[in-house]
Structure 1
Amino acid sequence: MANKLKFSILDLSPVPQGSDVQTALDRSLALARHAEALGYERFWMAEHHGMEGIASAATAVALSHIGHGTKTIRIGAGGIMLPNHAPMVIAEQFGTLEALFPGRVDLGLGRAPGSDQRTAQALRRNLNSDANEFPRDVLELQAFLAGDDRLGIQATPGQGSHIPLYILGSSLFGAQLAAALGLPYAFASHFAPQMLDEALTIYRRDFKPSEQLAKPYVLCGFNIFAADSDAEAEYLASSMMQSFVALRTGNPGKMPPPVEGYRESLPPQAQSMLGQIMQGSAIGAPEAVKQGVESFVKRTGADELIISGSIFDQAAREKSYTIAAEVRDLLVA
């Protein structure tokens, strides 16, 4: 583990109850600046539509806000849901970001639409696409970013930018595609860990070197809620737990404030659901977080952890990421 493990951040720009999108995006920028000072590798935002509790739907625009307020940390999408978009449009959007913030931009790509069918219709995309369309779209996007003359048209900005691509997934499909294309693979183990081990095995076994990447590179989503005590960390984590339960029961909304004893207050079925979702998590004081991270990295052999941790209070949120960075430094010392 020494001298290799990187920590990054996945931020959905959560909108707290009683607040608004502008506040959420400004909180994200404050977190990105904080992360930059703490030596985090990258700051990713994700595309979700039709959800009042998430402010990062226009991901490229949100990333421009982050890029203008930071100097060195990499910024990127974790991810763009490519079925929602024409590849040329994404090449132009992220080509623009690369022109504004040279050498700092990543582009993670997911296959899930990140929305329901009604939202997908509002996005004007084809709902009857076949399973091969995502790989074709990834290759087309790669070609636009490379400025491939065979396309007969150029993405401007975008052409020749060679922005690094990452394949995101929570199933075996993404692992197979990332391996076949020789791209880094990011697994969504922070909320869908069920197929993690098998997916990583397939990715590493079948990986084919590419111009972008010589050997497999694994990023894993991981929740960290860190505080001075285990009890306080559990309390802070209850906001995200409430959001998970609300989403799974069809009632998503803005991020709620934390609740004492929330997990224990749930019926057994809901507790079991949360336990499944949050397998890729470390909640507690620094020592508990260190043990959780060590165990997870030993299990996965991850090269990088993409840390998620939606916390209602901004100061507590930044402190949690400070503790996480201290844990990282202990592990790589």
Structure 2
Amino acid sequence: MNHNQKRKTLILIVVVSTASGLLVLSLLTWCIIKRRRKKRGAETKNEDIELSFFDLDTIVNATKNFCSTNIIGEGGFGPVYKGKLTTGHEIAVKRLLKNSGQDQNKGLELPWEKRFEIAMGISRGLLYLHQDSRLRIIHRDLKAGNILLDEEQSPKISDFGKARSFGRDQIVAKTKRLIGTYGYMSLEYAIDGKFSVKSDVFSLGMLLLEMVSDKRNGKFHHPDHYHSLLGHAWLLWNEHKALELMDPCLENSYIESQVLRCIQVALLYVQKLSKDRPIMSSVVFMLSNEGVTFPHPKEPGFFVERSSIDEETSTSDGCHSGNKSTMTIMEGR
């Protein structure tokens, strides 16, 4: 073999070796990337929420070190502060206090017009979470204590610590760890751990009944029966006495057609079967349009009459938690 042949053979060996090495390196890189993506996807799938998280320094700076002038509300476990991020976005921050207790119920003390505006604002906010935001968010703990009013008495849905995000094609999810507030949970969530946008709709229905009556479902008592506020509203509706549910303080400000519409729509929200409850886009339409014919509500979830003995037992066991208490059950049935 002459010099030129040896040189060509050496070049060929180098080229083949280099190409083989690059191929092996590419395969290894591809395997690593694929494994990392798979791991990241599994972690994302198991996350409860996909909302933004902030470190303490960011929150302290946003609220000006939890300045008292930034307090915009008082939750059951501490004050809620208004904050502003460096990006310009405004946030609400609930600061949990070690020895905090529940606030006393002071009543809404608002005229009907303002209550109806608040109801519409909450409905539009929930519609945004369910349909218009980048992530479809299920709040899972919608209740009076998680609605904040700003200086203009416009409602803001707060406390997303229990929220879950859904994919655009996801309809329902199931969990063994129930997190929410007794009296606002839908039947399918409380019993089977299934939740969806219809779970929030149920909670909104309970919230509307409370706004109309200025009564709390978990603390409601009636001298003639042992039904909850929900059961009482259903009885009055079937007896064509729905206006008797209304807070007496509204007598000089209410619009009869709006009150009746709110009660009827609320009863549609709390129907036993989730498939019978309207979606939020229909909810907003129902509330905001006079003269629209609605279907007759079907029996609500939890329409059972409790006995006084059962009531005392559940209270002593800590299961009957009222409006502002939160219930966590580790294993769903």
TM-score by length of 2: 0.25
TM-score of the superposition, structure 1-length normalised?
0.25
Report which structure shows greater RCO (CA 8 Å, sep ≥6): 1
